[in-house]
Amino acid sequence: MTLTALARDVRGPEQDSCEAGDKTTLRVVISGNFRTVAAAQGKTLAPLADDLVLLDSGLDSLCFAIIVATLEDELGCDPFTAAEDVFFPVTFGDFVTFYERGY
C-alpha cells in the first residue's frame, strides 16, 4: 500500500482536517514520509521515537519543508498554517500529535 493510499484511509472521503479516526495509521503515514524524504535527500534518519528531538533526527529544514508539503498533499491539510498560535514541535511525538489534533 502506498503512502498516498494510507493517507486516504486516514482522511476518509469527506474529511478536510488532519484529524484521524485511526491515529496509528496517521503515525504510519508520517513515519513513512520521514523515511522517504530522508532517503531521497541522502540523510541518515535517527530511529523514530516519540522522544526523538527533531533537531537530532538527521533531517534539515529542507527535509521538514518537504515533509510538511507532502503531508498537506496527502492529508489535505497543513496544521502549521491553520494554527492560530505559533507552535513548532520539538520532538517526533509532538509532530505526530500536532497532526492528530488537526489544527
Query: What pLDDT shows up at residue 102?
Result: 75
Query: What pLDDT shows up at residue 91?
Result: 98
Query: What pLDDT shows up at residue 11?
Result: 44
Q: Which residues in the chain land under pLDDT 70?
A: 1-24, 86, 103
Query: What pLDDT shows up at residue 47?
Result: 98
Find the domain containing 14 and state its range. 3-101
Please tell me the total count of domains within the chain.
1
Of 44, 22, 19, 24, whose CA–CA distance to 34 is shortest? 44
- Compute how many other C-beta atoms are within 10 angstroms of the C-beta atom of residue 100: 17
Cα-based distances in Å from 47 to 37, 39, 40, 51, 57? 14, 13, 17, 10, 8
Q: Is the pTM for the entire model greater than 0.85?
A: no
